[in-house]
Amino acid sequence: MLLSWTSSQVRAAEEPLLAAGVPLMDRAAFALATQVAALLRERLGRVGGAHVAILVGPGNNGGDALFAGAHLARRGAAVRALTVDERVHGAGAAALRAAGGRLVAADEGAAWAADADVVLDGLLGIGATGGLRGVAADLVERLSVGVRGLVVAVDTPSGIGVDDGALPGPVLAADRTVTFGAAKPGLLLPPASATVGQLSVVDLGLDLAGAPAIARLDDADVAGLWPVPPADAHKYTRGVLGVVAGARRYPGAAVLSTTAAVLAGVGMVRYLGDVGDLVVARRPEVVIGVGRVQAWVFGPGVSPDDASQRRRIEHAFEGVRERGEAAVCDAGALELLPAHVGPHVVLTPHAGELARLLTTRGEHVDRAGVEAEPLRWARRAHELTGATVLLKGPVTLVVGAQSAVYSQAEAPSWLATAGAGDVLAGLLGALLAGRADDIHEDPSLAAALAAAAALVHGRAAHRANPGGPVAARAVAVALPETIAALLADA
Ligand X SMILES: NC(=O)C1=CN([C@@H]2O[C@H](COP(=O)(O)OP(=O)(O)OC[C@H]3O[C@@H](n4cnc5c(N)ncnc54)[C@H](OP(=O)(O)O)[C@@H]3O)[C@@H](O)[C@H]2O)[C@@H](O)CC1
Distance CA 87, CA 331 (A): 53
452 touches ligand X (CB under 6 A): no
Is 125 assigned to a binding site? Answer: yes
Q: Which of 275, 423, 412, 279 is nearest to 348 (CA)?
A: 423
304 binds, among K ion, ligand X, none (CB under 5 to 8 A by kind): none
Tell me which stretch binds K ion (CB under 5 A): 123-131, 173-181, 238-246, 293-301. Answer: 123-131
The residue among 115, 117, 199, 116 whose CA lies nearest residue 157 is 199
Q: What is the CA radius of gyration of the chain?
A: 25
Indicate whether 33 belongs to the interface with ligand X (CB under 6 A): no
Pairing of strands 396-399, 388-391: antiparallel
Q: Cβ 371 to K ion, closest distance in Å? A: 24
**Interface stretch with ligand X, choices 93-101, 118-126, 256-264, 273-281 (CB under 6 A):** 118-126
User: How is residue 302 annotated by DSSP?
Assistant: -
Ranges of beta strands (E only) in 354-401 are: 388-391, 396-399
Among 53, 96, 154, 302, interactor with K ion by CB under 5 A: 154
Residue 313 known to bind ligand: no
Supply the angle between the helices 106-114 and 134-144 in degrees, to the nearest 10.
20
Q: Say how far apart CA 310 and CA 293 lie, in whole Å.
A: 18
- Asked if residue 127 binds ligand X (CB under 6 A), the reply is yes
Assess 35 for contact with ligand X (CB under 6 A).
no
Q: Which stretch binds ligand X (CB under 6 A): 120-128, 188-196, 292-300, 328-336?
A: 120-128
* 153 lies in the site for ligand X, by CB under 6 A: no
Contact window for K ion (CB under 5 A) among 117-125, 347-355, 425-433, 440-448 = 117-125
Sole binder of ligand X in the list 129, 145, 305, 413 (CB under 6 A): 129
| Residue 311, number of CB atoms within 10 A of its CB | 11
Query: What's the rounded Cα separation, in Å, for the pair 59 and 79?
Result: 19
Bond into 227 cis (ω within 30): no
Nearer to K ion, 11 or 282 (CB): 11
d(CA 265, CA 292): 18
Question: Which residue lies nearer to ligand X by CB, 121 or 325?
Answer: 121
- Name residue 151's beta-bridge partners: 119
When asked if residue 61 is in the footprint of ligand X (CB under 6 A), the reply is: yes
Considering only residues 4, 33, 55, 57, which one is a binding residue for ligand X as defined by CB under 6 A? 57
Q: In Å, how far from its chain's centre is CA 488? A: 24
Q: What are residue 146's phi and psi, to 5 degrees?
A: 160, 125
Distance of CA 490 to the CA centre of its chain: 21
Identity of the residue, 128 or 483, whose beta carbon is nearer to ligand X in the bound complex: 128
Sequence ranges of the binding site? 60-64, 121, 125-131, 155, 158, 253, 301, 350, 392-396, 421-422
The residues of the shown chain that bind K ion, judged by CB under 5 A, are 61, 121, 125, 154, 158
The residues of the shown chain that bind ligand X, judged by CB under 6 A, are 11, 14, 18, 24-25, 28, 57-62, 64, 87, 124-133, 136, 154-155, 180
Sequence ranges of the binding site for K(+)? 61, 121, 158
